[in-house]
Amino acid sequence: MSIHSVAEAKNKLSELINRALSGEGIVITRHGHPVVELKPVQPPPKLTTEADLEWLRAQRAKLPPSDVDAATFVRQMREEGEE
C-alpha cells in the first residue's frame, strides 16, 4: 500500500489510478491523516442470467388469441374475482 498527500495525488492522479487498477492499495492523506482510499469500482452483479430467461419463457402462459384487449381482460378477471 502506498500513501500520498492530497497535493501529491493531484499531481500524480492518472498514475495513482492506474496503480490502483492494477491492484495496489492507494491511500490519500490530508494533514497526515488518511482520508481516501483509491480502489477499482466493481462491476454490478448480473441480476438475470440466460438460464433465468429460458425458465421464464418456458413458464409463460399460453393464452389463445383473443379480440379482447389486455385492459378489458384484466378488468373482467377482477370482476370475476369479486363475485
Per residue in 2-41, pLDDT tens? Answer: 999 999 999 999 999 999 999 999 999 999 999 999 999 9
| Residue 81 scores a pLDDT above 90 | no
Q: Are 22 and 16 in contact (CB under 8 A)?
A: no
Could you tell me the residue ranges of all domains in the chain? 2-38, 50-82
Answer CATH for 2-38 from 3.40.1620.10, 3.40.50.1820, 3.40.190.10, 3.30.70.1290? 3.40.1620.10
Which residue's entry shows cell 501529491? 8
Give the whole-angstrom CA distance, residue 16 versus residue 24: 9
What is the mean predicted confidence (pLDDT) over 54-60?
89
80 in helix, strand or coil?
A: helix
Q: How far apart are CA 40 and CA 61, in angstroms?
A: 43
**Residue 40: what pLDDT?**
94
Instruction: Please tell me the pTM assigned to this model.
Output: 0.53
